Structure 1
């Protein structure tokens, strides 16, 4: 906790608690908001994020659904068209594949298909990513798939401030917003401003300024990127760390500004390297700032395998702070 003469300005909390605070604030602020999904009520959510909200707001506002992603995502779309503000929780990103038709062919297209007459103000919360030994069928990082689709906004909170504040901004959006919550971060802690509120979803954030190399991450890859910056600093290398925050629309301007300062770029992603979101970042830098680069871009991604279950193999398949730091040093060699 940080305390000034006027009282505490921040407090320590976990990502799970920050996400829950965002949900509680949204439900309390607007009667149109309700939460639906598998086990979000009595069980408190698969990862405990909605614990206690059923008792606080009742079964009309926090609703358990049948085990059918296509059904309850479709219900959320219909409710949004009817004037409410649904928050739909899909248990993990792997199960979001069962609702691709509803998300990609319906929610993302209705404004265009209706000539602007219909919007879908729907928020879909999706736990995502590796790091908890949940093996190949529950550890995917598929944010990039959805970021490919016009009509969707895709956000990836990587700090407790964004974990609490992004939901309010997402609910104010007249079109569908997908919030990808990193499973491995739920139990991690951070400093949350006491006087928090809605946060910006349009701009990336420079989480650590630097002069020698730009390291870009998002979601679950931000923490190892920041750890790598600490390792580099011990050797006299100043790394600037950029948190993308939103994958669609992508704020390439912040990345380009950083590369213009440092002239070197390392991109880090827990998704598979081939065709991942960071490939788009590298492409935009190549298109708009190629002459600013003094070294080849380094791309760090997950190994091209289904994510292993054993802890040591899972760790070996993912970008680590040591490997990120080594990549940054290669750009300086």
Structure 2
């Protein structure tokens, strides 16, 4: 081997080790499919199908499953059975079943269902806030503070979402400083965690890095989650850019379900199956059974009558019966 090749290999090894050394050895997956994934589906999914989907996801080993939304049925008909879902859902030990609430009315309804965690969702841009919440960013934060204050008083956990963190379909590119400010305000309200959402999937590794550098001036990595859509096929590369900053929680959606009704052309969330396979390859422990997870993805896709958006599920199908075999393949462990 030439001296040049030896130097190059050492350089590549050093860069790789430096990059991967900042990635957390364990990553928490926060499943949003039963809520964020299904809410944009035109075909109504009956309560029993939603519950069975949630049960299958839990059986695969996922411990955080966003299960319902208490927004007005006038705006999101798919979520109109939130009360029935939560009251009839068998709660598996150790599994968290958070719900989305837009205001105090929605919060009061959620409280009747014995929920333990609620999520609030201000927008990162004025244009999206007006379209999605029918108010300004500042007005939205005031509304959500009322919810957060009551939830904290009642002893519930509160999670915050910020949408359109890198780009907005109405306002264009979003400056990271504004997102950092909103994130800081959510922590001041009592949120234990804030999820940063690239709602329309326009982010790149570069824009994610710029976002992380700014937001981490007001938060610790363990207080943040990443929520990427795959509109431009950048979700996994964006995720890797974020994980290199020590982020330990990632949002994803079974079968890649989802999208944004206010963003033309925006496709679904990062597929949970693809995320787990990706993390296998990094040697990150997820404690997720990918075989069972793919079964859950096929279950809901078959009901909806459309192919799964998970590339891993499409490629592997039912050829593997043991998730350890898939993990070995993903990591190229020979």
> Same fold judged by TM-score > 0.5?
no
Which structure: greater helix fraction?
A: 2
Where relative contact order (Cα < 8 A, 6+ residues apart) is larger, the structure is 2
Query: What is the TM-score with the length of structure 2 in the denominator?
Result: 0.29
Which structure: greater strand fraction?
A: 1
